[in-house]
């Protein structure tokens, strides 16, 4: 059960495991347990970044370090696809060539590996020379340190410009886009990126696929949930948000799976989406999400979710 990321030889399980919780809301022991369960279920790609979890004030790199320790302890490097990012962690919070190269070396060290399967520019930096940055990413591919490159948090116009430059110069192209996209955050992706990704052959791997947990229903009705993300879902707790949750609940009840699994299955039906990204800080949370890999929504289910979230 896998889907090929366009333009690559990377076969992805229908869910990409988000590593932003590793070293943050999930300590090493809990992170190892989630990673073990994901691999046992057939999972392939784990998504992290050098900036995870910089917000704790410890310097960043915590998530990569835990993932690297797990791969070393389990001897599992050849069984997983590693996606990571640069461009947000100081002093490499830019897209200067020297920063791209140094950040990659630091990530490889923390991950205890000799290659990164998918390496993202975590965000655009308009003050930096875009051609020089793209040439530096190409150099990483040519060196063997990186297999494929991708983009996150670029505007549609800048992404198109980057793809044109890569094609014109024979540089390794961006093969994927990682946008903010879910049932309650639709407009930007659908209006700015979807057609571009289809036209240019990019696979989409959306982040915040569960809207910081809102789409699992656990915050419904103002529930007081002990979560580091609780404050981040307040913006969704309105009439539209409740409408979306009600539609998710109806489909989930009919399928006998969790609301989160349905929210992720809906993303898989969207243009250019290969696999959504979602994190889990416990094995129980992961188990709730895994059925998304087998759920194929029918036309009436898709329509009800589309209408509720319009």
State the burial class of residue 186 (Cβ atoms within 10 Å of its Cβ: 0-12, 13-18, 19+): middle
Q: Which residues are catalytic?
A: 52
Q: Where are the domains of the chain?
A: 3-178
Q: What is the tens place of the pLDDT at every residue in 70-87?
A: 999 999 999 999 999 999
Candidates 10, 43, 29; CA nearest to 290 is: 43
Contact (CB, 8 A) for 171 and 240: no
Residue 112: other Cβ atoms inside 10 A: 16
* Spatial separation of the C-alpha atoms in residues 278 and 206, rounded to whole Å: 9
- pLDDT tens, 141-172? 999 999 999 999 999 999 999 999 999 999 99
For residue 231, what pLDDT is reported?
A: 63
The domain covering 3-178 belongs, at the CATH homologous superfamily level, to NADP-dependent oxidoreductase domain (3.20.20.100)
Determine the distance from the C-alpha atom of residue 168 to the mean position of all C-alpha atoms in its chain, rounded to a whole number: 28
Tens of pLDDT along the chain (310 residues)? Answer: 789 999 999 999 999 999 999 999 999 999 999 999 999 999 999 999 999 988 888 889 999 999 999 999 999 999 999 999 999 999 999 999 999 999 999 999 999 999 999 999 999 999 999 999 999 999 999 999 999 999 999 999 999 999 999 999 999 999 999 999 999 999 999 999 999 999 999 999 999 999 999 999 988 865 555 555 556 678 898 999 999 999 999 999 999 999 999 999 999 999 999 999 999 999 999 999 999 999 999 999 999 999 999 9
What pLDDT sits at residue 70?
98
- pLDDT per residue over 76-121, tens digit each? 999 999 999 999 999 999 999 999 999 999 999 999 999 999 999 9
Nearest-angstrom CA–CA distance, 211 and 184:
7
Question: Angle of helix 62-74 relative to helix 28-40, nearest 10 degrees?
Answer: 60
- With H, G, I as helix, E, B as strand and everything else as coil, classify residue 176: strand
Rounded-to-integer distance, Cα 214 and Cα 225, Å? 11
As a whole number of angstroms, the distance between CA 283 and CA 41 comes to 11
The answer to whether the beta carbons of residues 18 and 43 sit under 8 Å apart is no
Which residues are CB-neighbours of 245 under 8 A, at least 6 positions away? 214, 215, 217, 220, 259
Q: Evaluate the CA torsion angle 291, 231, 63, 146 in order and state its sign.
A: positive
Distances (CA, A) of 32 to 2, 66, 74, 130: 23, 8, 9, 37
Our CA dihedral for 129, 171, 153, 79, rounded to 10 degrees, sits at -140
Residue 226: the pLDDT is: 54
**pLDDT for res 2:** 87
Joined together, the tokens standing for residue 47 give 């998504």
């Amino acid at each position: 059960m896998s889907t090929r990321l366009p333009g690559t030889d990377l076969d992805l399980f229908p869910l990409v495991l988000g590593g932003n919780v590793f070293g943050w809301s999930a300590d090493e022991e809990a992170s190892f347990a989630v990673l073990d369960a994901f691999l046992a279920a057939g999972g392939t790609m784990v998504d992290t970044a050098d900036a995870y979890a910089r917000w704790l004030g410890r310097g960043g790199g915590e998530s990569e370090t835990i993932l690297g320790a797990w791969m070393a302890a389990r001897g599992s490097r050849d069984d997983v696809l590693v996606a990571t990012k640069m461009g947000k962690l100081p002093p490499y919070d830019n897209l200067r060539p020297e920063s791209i190269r140094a950040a990659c070396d630091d990530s490889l060290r923390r991950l205890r590996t000799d290659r990164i399967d998918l390496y993202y520019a975590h965000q655009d930096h308009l003050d930096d020379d875009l051609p020089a940055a793209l040439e530096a990413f190409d150099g990483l591919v040519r060196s063997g340190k990186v297999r494929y490159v991708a983009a996150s948090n670029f505007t549609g116009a800048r992404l198109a410009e980057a793809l044109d430059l890569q094609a014109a110069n024979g540089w390794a192209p961006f093969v994927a886009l990682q946008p903010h996209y879910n049932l309650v955050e639709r407009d930007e992706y659908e209006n700015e990126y979807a057609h571009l990704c289809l036209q240019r052959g990019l696979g989409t791997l959306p982040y915040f696929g569960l809207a910081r947990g809102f789409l699992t229903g656990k915050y419904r009705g103002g529930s007081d949930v002990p979560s580091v993300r609780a404050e981040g879902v307040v913006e969704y707790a309105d009439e539209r948000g409740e409408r979306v949750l009600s539609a998710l609940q109806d489909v989930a009840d009919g399928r006998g799976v969790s609301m989160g699994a349905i929210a992720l299955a809906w993303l898989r039906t969207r243009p250019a989406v290969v696999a959504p990204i979602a994190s889990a800080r416990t094995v129980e949370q992961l188990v709730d999400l895994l059925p998304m890999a087998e759920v194929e929504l029918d036309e009436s289910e898709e329509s009800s979710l589309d209408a509720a979230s319009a």
